[in-house]
Amino acid sequence: MEVVVQSDKVRNRTTPLQLSTRTGWDDEPEHARTPWHVLGDTHDQPLIWKRGLQQHTRQVHAAAAAVAHQAVHSGADLESAIGTCTGYRAESEGFMVGVKVNPLNGLPSGYQELLKFLLDHLEDKSVEALVEGLLEARAEVRPLLCGSQERLKDLIFLDIALDSTVRTAVERSYEQLNNAEPEKIMYFISMVLENLALSTEDNENLLCCLKGWNHALAMANNFDDQWALYAKAYLDRTRLALVTKGEEYHHTLQPSAEYLGSLLGVEQWTVNIFTEEIIRSGSAASLSLLLNRLDPVLRNIANLGSWQIISPVEVIGYVTVVDELLTVQNKSYDKPTVLVAKAVKGEEEIPDGVVAVLTPDMPDVLSHVSVRARNSKVLFATCFDPEILSELQRNDGKLISVKPTSADISYRETAESELLVANSSTAEDDKSEPSISLAKKQFPGKYAICADEFSDEMVGAKSRNIAYLKGKVPPSVGVPASVALPFGTFETVLSDKMNKHVAQNVKHLKEKLSQGELSALDEIRNALLNLIAPSNLVKELKEKMQDCGMPWPGDDVWASKWNERAYYSTRKVKLDHAYLSMAVLVQEIVSADYAFVIHTVNPSSGDRSEIYAEIVKGLGRPFFICKKDDLNSPKVLGYPSKPIGLFIKQSIIFRSDSNGEDLEGYAGAGLYDSVPMDNEEVVVLDYTTDRLITDVSFRNTILSSIAHAGYAIEELYGSPQDIEGVVKDGKIFVVQTRPQM
């Protein structure tokens, strides 16, 4: 990642740290200073900065810290720091007039003139040129900070002062930015982001955010009609970076604060907010305020509204506010409940008794919790407006009626009589739903089978569907080679005399589980990893895989039968977990450029005329819809905002294929693990160089090809499909399809 330093301005700005809890636009963070020491590698221009952070003391409501705070404040004062480094003492006679005292050697050419410019413009009402100069000054001094320097302390204090002055200058601009055009706010975001990147260790993601903001600005200046949608993605990514850095700081600093606070007798409330106050004192607070100011503007321009409705269901329930859905996923509510959850990750279960989940988080529309909500007829939606969310939270304990439309949600307080009417209708609907059950599967006498042997007695729907696609999809759609370990293989291996001790241990742990000791689930998974494969299994599987030109598995997929989410899920719908059989689909991995998921019916609206798909580079996701009567005109609904991609070379993957994953009326897909033979490479994603984002023609070609593949497979099965696949060198490969829930 690069920061290009030019003599007049710094371009390609980058950065942030943590999340400010302040949300009021006029509520400025207190003027306390967080000093940052920036260290790292340097090269000829363009410069690649990596930094180490050295935290200094800051006053946090404790009187005992006042002296230390004043020392840092004084040392970080810009005029004092400049005078120390340039070797001049001002003595009230103007800049550089006075006695020359021990100047710092090696300052860049023209640097003193730049510092003079900064001091001359410190009080300017318009701060843009000042902030640009401050950033240039920080970048120019970086080689000295990163090299061998006897007076490193003086340079550190200069960098601290420059950093702190950026923050105070930006805070001074809040009022004028209230009525500014979005492009102006975006430019300030890019400058504050760069300042934070210059103060942050492991800042590759922040630099990618900076490049994204610069690209969004270029799109806006070129009147690209997608600029606001693109900028919103980078706003979300920047917020995620702030939250992540805030969590890292809390993990690093708070234990020390707790320890020292207990020794010094500091009041607990002061200790509790220590890390929060450290975060608030830095430029991250300014960045957070700028993002909050821009968010509703972008949503309005991009016609995004205040809600993303993932599962549209009209409900009545009592409001309950929780911090995390994860902490209540195994709870049973005794009355209809509208959960307002501050955090939803996407892999949770929806608790019994919950009729709605409303959250500011943005789990994927195709995540486990999203699919579970649609299947269970639970309202699930993301709220982007903090005022609406706060109002909902103030209704904690009240009975409300919630009604979604295509792009919005309305709610009102209601009476219990309305709830009784709604409950009677729901009870009638429940009587009409078919019961579901599992049939125990028998070992077929073979440890491994090839695709032409796949049947419902041997493997699950995942394997059978892949075999069915072979030779039936259009020539432009590839299907990877695959073999399978059939139902009953796991039980047969577990009963082998070589695994006697593992079997005894698992039996004991299952007894603990039946008595309600849920910690036994993790113990069972670990125990199963000690299974030894019989020689016949090794022999048969190798033969089948070699016949297909493939390379070898482990026990992790079988162990995933005992993961918490899957166990709770089967128990919730009263499926006998003992009858759950796990086949393993062994499939070739295509070393892909992109991966995708298709729903051939729009899962958010239920519109059967629309194909909805997400195409991913790692975990980032642009998502789009395509009308079935116009597959060559995909419409992009959003750009990627997640920072991390997972990539893997050509290999094989072992995919769970249980007899419970595709039962009608039970969304079992995704409950069990898929395990690649090789480790994925974790990459910080830079979308500004990705053709899928930057090349409209290329993007339309890829998205249209995906839509055509989805339509063809839906036509083949005669019903809506949930399809997974990858793109390699422009060719579409389908790795899985199942009925859309």
Is 368 designated active site? Answer: yes
In 3D space, the residue among 106, 200, 109 whose CA is nearest the CA of residue 151 turns out to be 106
In 3D space, the residue among 483, 399, 396 whose CA is nearest the CA of residue 447 turns out to be 483
Calculate the alpha carbon distances from 491 to 524, 539, 560, 578, 609 in Å. Answer: 14, 18, 14, 11, 44
Region for 534 from its dihedrals, namely left if φ exceeds 0, alpha if ψ lies in -120 to 50, beta otherwise: beta
Catalytic residue among 56, 215, 368, 708: 368
- Omega cis (within 30) before 46: yes
- Please give the structure tokens belonging to residue 190: 């890019």
Calculate the alpha carbon distances from 726 to 226, 439, 617 in Å. Answer: 25, 33, 10
CA triple 30-34-38, angle to 5 deg: 150
Q: Give the type of residue at 403.
A: K
Cα–Cα distance for residue pair 291/157, rounded to 1 Å: 29
Cα–Cα distance for residue pair 307/315, rounded to 1 Å: 16
Instruction: State the burial class of residue 326 (Cβ atoms within 10 Å of its Cβ: 0-12, 13-18, 19+).
Output: middle
Cα–Cα distance for residue pair 130/255, rounded to 1 Å: 38
Residue 409's DSSP bridge partners are 404
The total of other beta-carbon atoms located within 10 Å of residue 476's CB is 12
Whether the CB-CB separation of 669 and 741 falls below 8 Å is answered with yes
Q: Give the type of residue at 252.
A: T
- Please give the structure tokens belonging to residue 368: 């486990």
Whether the CB-CB separation of 723 and 600 falls below 8 Å is answered with yes
Whether the CB-CB separation of 699 and 690 falls below 8 Å is answered with no
Calculate the alpha carbon distances from 501 to 119, 511, 531, 557, 721 in Å. Answer: 76, 16, 9, 20, 43
* Residues with a known catalytic role: 368
